[in-house]
Amino acid sequence: MKRKIITINEELCDGCGNCVSACSEGALQLVDGKAKLVKENYCDGFGDCIGECPTGALIIEERESVPFDIEATKEFLLKTKGKEAVWKMEEAQNKHEAHTVADHAPLACGCPGSMAQTIHRTQETTDMQKQTTESQLRNWPVQIPLLPLKAPYYQGADLLVAADCCAFAYGGFHNDFIKDKTLAIGCPKLDNTGAYKEKLTTILRENDIRSITVAYMEVPCCMGLVKLFDEAVKDSGKDIPSGKVKIGIQGQRV
């Protein structure tokens, strides 16, 4: 088939290896001091590696090639680099697919959570929102795909699993929710919830989590976060006290 795929100019390649590290699919390797596309069926053609090349040796071209094989890529990464490499690759794929849909086609689902709305605020509310609030964040990273499986800040922690829109909708999110908690955020509509569940399950199983709070938006698609959370707790085999908080689009607790 004819498709977009990476091509490397060996004369320009200085062998720095930046592109190899940037390729989440493992399609590139250094061979005799030069970057090589060693597995064409592992290259998705999105070109995440291009921006890391200091010499301009990498380009995307459209040519005859074998199709991108995502299942073979996952199997390779799992054997050579482990689960986190697979999650990283899946996250990259989801981001590119989401951008492709947003750039080239309207949303097909007709989800009420995607409906455009104008939110009107009173002047009093606006003035209050201008006040500077100290951040209550106590861990980094916070995106679920980037979270480590084990970390000191999990031990004896109260975990907050939140849909990422919550912090923008609810004005007092830091003080009312993040304060004194370890944070994990994600979007159940745009990201790979299967990978979310597997990672959260491992975090709950391998660490001493004291309690869990799930904060989610009132839109229907956000219920996916609640569902995968319930499954992760069940699969972890632990009985962890938990609670759920629904946030309205207008910024209120529902």
Tens of pLDDT, residue by residue over 175-188, are 999 999 999 999 88
Decide if pLDDT at 45 tops 60: yes
DSSP-derived letter for residue 40 is G
Residue type, 82: G
Peptide linkage before 152 cis (omega within 30 of 0): no
- Min mean pLDDT across 53-57, 105-109, 215-219, 232-236 is at 105-109
Residue recorded with tokens 């995440």: 48
pLDDT tens, residue by residue, 228-246: 899 999 999 999 999 999 9
Give percent above pLDDT 90 in the chain.
49
pLDDT at 82: 87
Decide if pLDDT at 113 tops 70: no
Query: What is the SS3 assignment for 215-252?
Result: EEECCHHHHHHHHHHHHHHHHHCCCCCEEEEEECCCCC
Q: Within 10 Å of residue 139's Cβ, how many Cβ atoms? A: 19
pLDDT at 101: 45
Residue type, 101: V
Pairing of strands 58-64, 2-8: antiparallel
* Full set of structural domains in the chain with CATH: 2-104 (3.30.70.20), 134-247 (3.40.50)
* Residue 194: both structure tokens together: 């299967």
Q: What is the DSSP string of 143-206?
A: BGGG--SS-GGGTTEEEEEEETTHHHH-TTHIIIIITTSEEEEE-TTTS-HHHHHHHHHHHHHH
